[in-house]
Amino acid sequence: MKVRRGISPVIATVIIVAVAIAISIAVAGWLFGLWGSFATGSPQIQVSAAKIIYDKGADPNSTADDQMKVSIYIVNTGSGSDKILSVGLSINNEFCDITAKFNNTTINANSSGWYDSNAIALGGASPDCNFTSVNPGDTAVVVVSFEKSGQTSVPVTITEGTVQ
């Protein structure tokens, strides 16, 4: 006759402890929202180019109607979206926050394209930016901060053109 034996008490204790640890990790992940961020995917943002068009305006001797337009080429190869938190422009060691000109832009998952600012006034009664000097050919730096992907900067040469 066969004698049936159960598992060793040591093995049973190890199994119970392992199950308790696994449940603790699952509950902690659920409480702190770790599993939610994995489920929605994460963005993989790259700012690969930028361009700045400078419009001198109708009167070349005045800055009253000078304006600029900033365009940023953003590639998101990730499975989650991201949002532009801030955009800054640095020209000749002077900085201007142009975040409002991008209207809370969201970068969708697996997408790429040019994201354009609204017109940025450089002169007149209420300019958006007060740069001492801006000329075609100057080098500027566009600094973009994303909600999930951090901050990146892109150097760009200012070109002359018409802002529409």
Does pLDDT of 64 surpass 90?
Answer: no
Are residues 86 and 135 part of one domain?
Answer: yes
Are residues 116 and 59 part of one domain?
Answer: yes
Which helix (H) or strand (E) element contains residue 140? strand 139-146
Q: What is the mean pLDDT of residues 66-87?
A: 93
The distance of Cα 113 from the centroid of its chain, to the nearest Å, equals 13
Burial (CB < 10 A; 0-12, 13-18, 19+), residue 56, is buried
Are residues 57 and 26 part of one domain?
Answer: no
Task: Enter the pTM of the model.
Answer: 0.72
Does pLDDT of 41 surpass 80?
Answer: no
Are residues 146 and 88 part of one domain?
Answer: yes
Are residues 96 and 20 part of one domain?
Answer: no
Question: Domain span at residue 142?
Answer: 45-160
Are residues 55 and 30 part of one domain?
Answer: no
Are residues 69 and 19 part of one domain?
Answer: no
C-beta of residue 77 within 8 angstroms of C-beta of residue 157: no
pLDDT of residue 76: 94
Are residues 147 and 99 part of one domain?
Answer: yes
- Residue 3, domain member (yes or no): no
Total structural domains within the chain: 2
Burial (CB < 10 A; 0-12, 13-18, 19+), residue 116, is middle
Are residues 156 and 114 part of one domain?
Answer: yes
> Binning pLDDT at 50, 70 and 90, where does residue 38 land?
low
Q: What is the pLDDT of residues 86-127, one digit of tens each?
A: 999 999 899 999 999 887 799 999 999 999 999 999 877 788
> Binning pLDDT at 50, 70 and 90, where does residue 39 land?
low
pLDDT of residue 74: 96
> Binning pLDDT at 50, 70 and 90, where does residue 66 land?
confident
